[in-house]
């Protein structure tokens, strides 16, 4: 059973996604802060991480991703970022593809509200790609 | 025999100028007969005539009457070694047109006369018709001279005015000619561009940034076939400068460019603040909506159809988040109405104690649910203040609501009112989760919300305390906070009595 970690400062969003994904057969951990998220990531080594962008700070999500990648065994964990931030504010979501932006190491940015079926599709896509490369 | 033809209607008298005023003529002649003869002949035709028997008197009369025409007899004795012609033309400040009369018709006289600045001459004896014709022409000449003078002085005035205008303008003005060389720059532009005017300075010297230089080039080249104006913005120190470029057309041909520089830092900053605010609002609106839609998604998936309590739980959270959204919209509207100034404050005498007691009553049901006790300590009978009742409600509604939301179950919310001389002091204390130093520094910022395990699930707009502080500013009031994590916080409001 694949392990997922969702980090978001909105309890309700976490709750909804957790209930849905658990029913779909995933083992779901949630964290409200990046500190808690890092602790849980370290502890459980999830197969995929879903992280919010604007939490304590407007760029908490990126900070979290950077630090997660530094943890043992998580250098290549797929990270989906979901955010309610308007696309044009502050960041260009190049998802680490452009030079100098490598630290924005997320695999995909999804705009909230992310329909659950769509989220599920993305999770399956990245997990199967990961399985192929493994 | 037919009746004689009626006399032709007399034309406007020859001696009046275009505006109906008589042309003023001075006759300076040694012979009384000539003086009087000329006077009669001219007066009959509408001229205003004064006479003088010598040059000195003639000059005085000319000045007194601002005469337009002087008839001067050259045979008069010289004054201060000057011939009468020289004397009159030199001393009549050029406004009086001089006509010479002479009994000695010689080419030499004529030449000499003209050389000394006379306009025309009459050889005695002259006919009335001759006299009138010459004096009329002289009068016309005088009017032309005066008009030209007035025009020149107006022109000088206008040039002076435009120079002053350009110099004193709050905007910077820079003018380039068609060869892209500097022709004009006012002091304000020197200040903006941090340089001094030097004729012929080049475009890149003044505008090193390529965008502005390219825009100026484009405007110069666009004229006159398709004259266009351009507007660019560039940095001005920490601020912003607007560069407005229009073509300079000289007789319809491209002549260069006029560049107006204005400091738009304030509006630029305001716009940035507004953009930031709007994107924050968008984020704050989307977050609860995302949570709500998420729950609905889960419910609709049918996966919890057999677990009704779970569904009810989710629906209840949807309601809570929906209500918080409504609060947010309400707060935004309030802020907007105050910012835009659409809603004017209605200042009246209000008793602070009544306001606070009213708010405490309003929140009693909510407090009771969590067994939080509310208390009001206000030793005076009344705490009068001149203020808008709505503003005071907003301040204490936010503080009391926070004191309950972030309190522990069975906690205490105490409001204490005190007289501090020139101001009332109101302290709202709770026994809740408290604030860290970092949180304390940020809580008055718009959309800042303390987010941690302890605050999870507590709905709020992130605008409450920011609004409180804004409203207080309008009354020269203050708010401060002291707090201890896990013990509680005290928000202290100071409101000047006047």
Tens of pLDDT along B237-293?
Answer: 888 999 999 998 888 888 889 999 999 999 998 888 888 788 778 878 888 899 999
Q: Do A86 and B282 touch (CB under 8 A)?
A: yes
A114 — contact with chain B (CB < 8 Å)? yes
Angle at B304 between CA B302 and CA B309, to 5 degrees: 140
**pTM check: above 0.90:** no
Mean pLDDT, residues A39-46: 94
Task: Identify whether residues B249 and B277 lie together within a single domain.
Answer: no
B275 and B301 belong to one structural domain: yes
The three-point CA angle A117-A32-B330 to 5° equals 85
pLDDT digits (tens, 9 = 90+) for B2-36: 444 444 444 456 666 555 678 899 999 988 888 99
Look over chain A and give the mean of its residue pLDDT values, rounded to a whole number: 83
**Taking a C-beta distance cutoff of 8 angstroms, is the pair B452, B432 a contact?**
no
Residues 4-23 (B) with a CB less than 8 A from some CB of A: none
Instruction: Tell if the CB–CB gap between B451 and A36 is shorter than 8 Å.
Output: no
What average pLDDT does range A86-108 have in this prediction?
55
B290 falls within a domain: yes
Query: Do residues B178 and B235 share a domain?
Result: yes
Distance of CA A101 to the CA centre of its chain: 17
Final residue of a domain: which of B303, B323, B340? B340
Residue B12 belongs to a domain: no
Q: Which of B291, B301, B451 sits opposite A12 (nearest CB)?
A: B291
Chosen domain end from B281, B312, B340: B340
Structure tokens belonging to residue A88: 């044009």
CA gap B292, B286 in Å, rounded: 10
What tokens appear for B392 in the block?
């005071």
| CATH number reported for the structural domain that contains residue A122 in this entry | 3.40.50.2300
- Looking at the fold, whether B383 and B457 belong to one and the same domain comes out as yes
Task: State the sign of the Cα–Cα–Cα–Cα dihedral B68, B74, B77, B79.
Answer: positive
Residue B160 lies in a domain: no
Q: Residue B123 phi/psi, 5° resolution?
A: -95, 120
Residue B230 included in any domain: yes
- Shared domain check, B296 and B229: no
Share of chain A above pLDDT 70, in %: 84
Is B109 among the domain residues? yes
Residue A3 β-bridge partners: A27
User: Is a pLDDT exceeding 50 seen at residue A95?
Assistant: no
Tell me which chain B residues have a C-beta less than 8 angstroms from the C-beta of A19: 298, 303-304, 310, 314
B370 and B470 part of one domain = yes
A31: containing domain: 3-133
Of B85, B119, B86, B126, the closest CA to residue B105 belongs to: B126
Q: Is residue B19 part of a domain?
A: no
Same structural domain, B29 and B141: yes
CA distance B454 to B433: 7
Phi, psi at B321, each rounded to 5°? -70, -35
Q: Which of A25, A64, A84 to mutate to test the interface with B (most CBs of B within 10 A)?
A: A84
Distance, CA of A91 to CA of B224 (rounded, Å): 43
Q: For the residues A62-73, what does the mean pLDDT come to?
A: 89
The pLDDT, as a whole number, for residue B11 is 47
Q: Check if the beta carbon of residue A75 is closer than 8 Å to that of residue A53.
A: no
Phi-psi region of B155 (alpha: psi -120 to 50; beta: other; left: phi over 0): alpha
Count the neighbouring beta carbons within 10 Å of the beta carbon of residue B19. Answer: 6
**pLDDT score at A47:** 95
Q: Which residues is B494 bridged to in the sheet?
A: B425, B478
CATH of the domain at B199: 3.30.450.20
Is the Cα torsion angle B354, B360, B362, B365 positive or negative in sign? negative
The answer to whether position B5 is within a domain reads: no
Cβ of A113 and B298 within 8 Å? no
**Count of the separate structural domains present in chain B:** 4
Residue B484 lies in a domain: yes
Domain hosting B225: range is 169-263
CATH number, residue B388: 3.30.565.10
Q: Name the domain count of chain A.
A: 1
Query: How many pairs of residues across A and B have Cβ atoms under 8 Å apart?
Result: 78
What span, in angstroms and rounded, lies between the C-alpha atoms of B295 and B480?
39
Are residues B34 and B86 both part of a single domain? yes
Strand order in the sheet with B423-430: B373-377, B412-419, B423-430, B488-496, B478-484
- Does residue A36 sit at the B interface (CB-CB below 8 Å)? yes
Please indicate, yes or no, whether residues B360 and B492 belong to a single structural domain of this protein. yes
Domain boundary among B212, B236, B263: B263
Residues B50 and B103 in one domain: yes
Determine the average pLDDT of the residues in A48-73: 86
Q: pLDDT under 50 in chain B at which residues?
A: 1-11
Tokens of B123: 């050889």
Q: Are B250 and B220 part of one and the same domain?
A: yes
CA distance linking residue B46 with residue B138, whole number of Å: 15
d(CA A58, CA A52): 10
Does B180 lie in the same domain as B272? Answer: no
Give the pLDDT band (50/70/90) at residue A96. Answer: very low
Within 13 Å of residue B30, how many CA atoms lie on the same side as its CB? 9
For tokens 């994904």, the residue is A21
Which residue in the block uniquely carries the two structure tokens 């030449």?
Answer: B111
């Amino acid at each position: 059973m694949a392990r997922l970690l969702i980090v978001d400062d909105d309890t309700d969003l976490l709750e909804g996604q957790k209930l849905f994904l658990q029913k779909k057969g995933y083992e779901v951990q949630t964290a409200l802060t990046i500190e808690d998220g890092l602790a849980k990531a370290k502890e459980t080594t999830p197969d995929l991480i879903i992280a919010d962008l604007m939490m304590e700070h407007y760029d908490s999500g990126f900070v979290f991703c950077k630090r997660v990648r530094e943890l043992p065994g998580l250098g290549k964990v797929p990270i989906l970022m979901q955010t309610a931030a308007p696309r044009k504010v502050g960041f260009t979501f190049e998802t680490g593809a452009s030079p100098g932006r490598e630290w924005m190491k997320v695999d995909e940015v999804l705009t909230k509200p992310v329909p659950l079926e769509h989220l599920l599709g993305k999770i399956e896509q990245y997990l199967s790609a990961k399985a192929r490369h493994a | 025999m037919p009746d004689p033809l009626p006399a032709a209607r007399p034309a406007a008298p020859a001696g009046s100028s275009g505006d109906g005023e008589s042309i003023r003529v001075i006759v300076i002649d040694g012979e009384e007969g000539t003086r009087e003869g000329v006077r009669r002949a001219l007066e009959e035709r509408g001229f205003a005539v004064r006479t003088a028997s010598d040059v000195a008197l003639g000059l005085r009369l000319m000045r007194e009457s601002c005469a337009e025409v002087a008839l001067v007899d050259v045979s008069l004795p010289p004054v201060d070694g000057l011939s009468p012609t020289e004397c009159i033309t030199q001393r009549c400040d050029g406004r009086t047109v001089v006509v010479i009369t002479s009994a000695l018709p010689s080419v030499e006289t004529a030449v000499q006369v003209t050389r000394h600045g006379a306009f025309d001459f009459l050889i005695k004896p002259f006919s009335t018709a001759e006299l009138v014709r010459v004096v009329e022409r002289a009068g016309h000449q005088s009017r032309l001279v005066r008009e030209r003078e007035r025009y020149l002085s107006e022109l000088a005035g206008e040039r002076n005015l435009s120079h002053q205008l350009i110099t004193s303008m709050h905007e910077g003005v820079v003018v380039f000619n068609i060869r892209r060389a500097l022709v004009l720059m006012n002091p304000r532009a020197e200040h903006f561009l941090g340089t001094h005017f030097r004729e012929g300075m080049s475009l890149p010297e003044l505008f090193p940034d390529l965008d502005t230089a390219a825009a100026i080039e484009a405007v110069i080249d666009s004229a006159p076939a398709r004259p266009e104006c351009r507007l660019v913005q560039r940095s001005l120190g920490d601020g912003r400068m607007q560069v407005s470029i229009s073509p300079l057309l000289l007789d319809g041909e491209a002549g260069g460019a006029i560049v107006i520089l204005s400091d738009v830092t304030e509006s630029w900053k305001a716009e940035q603040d507004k953009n930031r605010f709007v994107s924050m609002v968008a984020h704050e609106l989307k977050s609860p909506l995302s949570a709500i839609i998420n729950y609905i998604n889960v419910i609709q998936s049918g996966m919890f159809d057999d677990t009704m309590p779970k569904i009810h739980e989710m629906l209840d959270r949807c309601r809570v988040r929906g209500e918080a959204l409504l609060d947010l919209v309400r707060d935004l509207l309030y802020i907007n109405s105050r910012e835009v100034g659409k809603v004017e404050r209605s200042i009246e005498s209000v008793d602070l104690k009544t306001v606070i007691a009213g708010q405490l009553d309003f929140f009693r049901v909510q407090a009771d649910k969590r067994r939080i006790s509310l208390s009001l300590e206000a030793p005076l009978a009344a705490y009068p203040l001149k203020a808008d009742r709505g503003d005071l409600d907003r301040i204490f509604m936010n503080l009391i609501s926070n004191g309950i939301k972030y309190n522990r179950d069975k906690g205490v919310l105490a409001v204490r009112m005190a007289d501090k001389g020139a101001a009332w002091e109101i302290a709202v204390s709770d026994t809740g989760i408290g604030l860290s130093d970092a949180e304390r520094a940020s809580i008055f910022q718009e959309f800042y919300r303390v987010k941690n395990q302890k605050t999870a699930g507590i709905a709020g707009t992130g605008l409450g305390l920011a609004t409180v502080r804004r409203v207080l500013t309008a009354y020269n009031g203050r708010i401060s906070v002291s707090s201890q994590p896990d013990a509680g916080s005290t928000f202290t409001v100071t409101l000047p009595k006047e």
